[in-house]
Chains A and B, each alone.
Chain A
């Protein structure tokens, strides 16, 4: 069983929809929780990171961490066609990051 499991998708939503992306994990030692966006043929780009349980908001993006359930989510409000990409959750401990396999999102105009 993988340490990090990510809802596989793919997801296709109309422009303006609210998107929910989710990951679960099994390693209690993970300290930091990140969401990356990866466009085709590019390296991952950090969107947000959180340390503690709770919500963190940045513009249209909200990251949510529930350490008791070992569950993290990323919400995208008012989704735009430019949000179409693969979203990767990642968790780190001692400088080493463990990634989920990604969810590919398509936002249709």
Chain B
């Protein structure tokens, strides 16, 4: 059973650029959630995808968007990057088969916006 993987590991962009981060879910999981973790803070919920549909969104602007593919892998896209977007971006996959869904986190992508 493979765990959650994310790519790339690190990324440096400049303000105004666009970025795409990728996540492969753990085998058998059909739900993926994305979180932003700024330095010294806890992860903040961006959005969740279940069977390719957005299933809940946190307090993030529309320039944060996502996709989930038929194999349940996922992308996070951020347009018009701002300095405050510098953070660790985490994805977490889970099985949506029960009322409690244990989330398994990937190692994250560290994004730096200059």
Q: Which residues of A contact B (CB under 8 A)?
A: 4, 6, 31-32, 41-46, 49, 51, 88, 90, 92, 94-102
What are 17 A-B interface contacts by the 8 Å CB criterion?
A: A4-B42, A6-B42, A32-B100, A41-B108, A43-B92, A43-B105, A43-B106, A44-B105, A95-B31, A95-B48, A95-B56, A95-B94, A95-B96, A99-B35, A99-B42, A99-B44, A101-B40
Partner of A95, one of B4, B40, B42, B55: B55
Closest to B31 in A: A95
How many A-B residue contacts, CB cutoff 8 Å? 59
Closest residue of chain A to B3 (Cβ to Cβ) is A43
CB distance A96 to B108 under 8 Å? Answer: no
User: Which of B4, B42, B96, B103 is packed against the most chain A CB atoms within 10 Å?
Assistant: B42
Q: In the assembled complex, which residues on chain B have CB atoms less than 8 Å from the CB atom of A100?
A: 42
